[in-house]
Structure 1
């Protein structure tokens, strides 16, 4: 493992940690099937006697959890329980037959469904496939779909079909305190990550260690192959990282696979402009990110426990700079390894 080459990336992550007042941070990079950078900073919470962050520390990854839902949908396609993502959600969930008329799984997976929840009521913000908006009603529908079709909760389905197979033992929806969890923000009644009283996978309480999140990206990078064995079909992973956004969506709006953000030249894109075509990424509200760069055979992970928006911090500027810096270092690392 080489950490010196990526020291400037670690320093950048540390400076952002201070700027966003996160008590904990980490980076983890896999390249060419080897861990080339592993770095940890801070403590689990703000108290001086709090546990230092280490390789076992598990962060709440926020919306990164949605890519686990995306993979579950792809597995259901593989199993024949979903015929096509162009099926209307109302065909599978009767309660949405009227409201969600014309809304397909594709729309839900790519944030192009047009549904918005206001004061507990769902309504249409725009016609499906004509715009893009990051809203949770579509995610909730997909969660219910997985449960209905598989007969299991998302967390159980993923544990049995993915986590146990790939030994992701530091990944799970948590409801109770454990020393390995960076858990402090649940003490704040105004926390923005939401409730944590369900282990079904329907809440934003997925906790993952930096190395497990890197492995999550790695099994996507390798299309399901691990330690010389093809544990799940390549098509399961190819589906979720290929362009799924409807052609009717205007070109200036983001492009998504199954939840994953794909590299594209759009104003709202979260990937740095220097990252090569084919790269994909997911970012959570707590600051955690998983970036996969097939051209470099690399996965780059950063972890934070960001608690609130602070000062003049702009998350889009930050995540793009992070990606661009990772890009530059990985490009030079290829030359560095040959000399």
Structure 2
């Protein structure tokens, strides 16, 4: 299979020649291997796993948990998972909703009466879950009327508020709530960062403006509920199995979480127009349902997507953030791997339609 790799100052751009898909058309293993093994000054440093029906169909570990010591990454290496954390928070919120402890469309003043701004009387839990609340800072007015737009700068503040709400309604700390959730899922290596229970957290690295790769000291910059949970690739597989398998939420609640919510539409720097449910993106391009999230924390670049039609999970975790001010390049490997996996699923989808058409 002929491929052309073009190197640029910000990474490599993968260009397929005209007949690239002629051989091994559905073999994403060959394509992913070729992508991540190409010679470049910005090598892939992380973990990739693809699971179908709970069985691993592709797995690759490349690079180091500690670049200085050249300590190799391991299957149980822990990463800061960025915004993948938001769907965990959303599940905890929705579990409180199912218990009758909170309502999605009531103003958050009911749960957080100490908030000083008037927006606490109009912003609801639903607005926080969908990033449509307009809050920029806790002590400032909203940028727009709640429910009328998507937060331009995305929203970590909103998810931090959600964690505070569930603390009030459950009577437990957010760290305690999440620990119980992870135990229920069998996720023994996933933690709220404040517990300090993680033992295999790898070092995160960021490329500087001068091109040097340096140890990142600010990986826990974001609020835990929004972007600082620590997890592993096997645990994220377990998370998808539990969430998508109906073990965490009632069917109606899960459907609500994974439905495109009105107005929850973002112009994403990686994928363009992106629709959100509750804490999760909902993509239906090419007639393929894709549920999940990318995640960025200083020094860590992550991706976790699930495709219900084929029960496929794709997890990509990297602890080297190249060009962190240009997310298209930061997520280069992630987006290319996603394209390869999506193409395989599209091929499967098309072949299934063709078979059904012939039978009819």
TM-score computed with the length of structure 2 as normaliser: 0.73
- Taking the aligned partners of 1:236 and 1:148, their CA distance within structure 2 comes to 21
- Taking the aligned partners of 1:67 and 1:128, their CA distance within structure 2 comes to 21
Give secondary structure in 2 for the equivalent of 1:181.
coil
Match of 2:109 in 1: 90
316-325 or 121-130: bigger deviation = 316-325
RMSD of aligned C-alpha atoms? Answer: 3.5
Aligned counterpart for 1:213 among listed residues 222, 228, 236:
236
- Taking the aligned partners of 2:265 and 2:86, their CA distance within structure 1 comes to 23
| 1:59-78 alignment, distance < 5 Å | 59-78=79-98
| 1:162-177 alignment, distance < 5 Å | 162-174=181-193, 176=196
Deviation (angstroms), 1:277: 4.0
Aligned counterpart for 1:125 among listed residues 140, 143, 159:
143
Deviation (angstroms), 1:215: 1.8
- Taking the aligned partners of 1:16 and 1:282, their CA distance within structure 2 comes to 28
Give secondary structure in 2 for the equivalent of 1:296.
coil
Distance 1:10 1:174, change over 3 A: farther
Match of 1:326 in 2: 341
Match of 2:317 in 1: 303
Deviation (angstroms), 1:302: 0.6
1:194 has 2:213 as partner? no
1:106-137 superposed Cα distances (whole Å, 9 cap, x missing partner): 111111111112xx733311111111120222
Distance 1:152 1:57, change over 3 A: same
1:42-92 superposed Cα distances (whole Å, 9 cap, x missing partner): 111211x3421121111111121111100101111111112x311111222
Match of 1:292 in 2: 306
Match of 1:269 in 2: none
- Taking the aligned partners of 2:266 and 2:327, their CA distance within structure 1 comes to 30
- Taking the aligned partners of 1:247 and 1:203, their CA distance within structure 2 comes to 17
Give secondary structure in 2 for the equivalent of 1:99.
helix
Match of 1:180 in 2: 200
Retained in 2: the 8 A contact 1:58–1:209? yes
TM-score computed with the length of structure 1 as normaliser: 0.77
Retained in 2: the 8 A contact 1:214–1:299? yes
Give secondary structure in 1 for the equivalent of 2:179.
helix
1:149-203 superposed Cα distances (whole Å, 9 cap, x missing partner): 111122211222x21122100111235486511134599576354179xxxx457
Structure 2: segments with no counterpart, 5+ residues: 1-26, 207-213, 352-360
| 1:263-274 alignment, distance < 5 Å | 263=283, 273-274=285-286
| 1:242-281 alignment, distance < 5 Å | 242-246=259-263, 254-263=274-283, 273-274=285-286, 276-281=287-292
- Taking the aligned partners of 1:149 and 1:159, their CA distance within structure 2 comes to 17
Deviation (angstroms), 1:245: 3.5
Aligned counterpart for 1:238 among listed residues 231, 235, 255:
255
Aligned counterpart for 1:135 among listed residues 129, 149, 155:
155
**Which structure has greater strand proportion?**
2
Give secondary structure in 2 for the equivalent of 1:295.
coil
Distance 1:100 1:312, change over 3 A: closer
Retained in 2: the 8 A contact 1:185–1:191? no
Match of 1:45 in 2: 66
Match of 1:12 in 2: 35
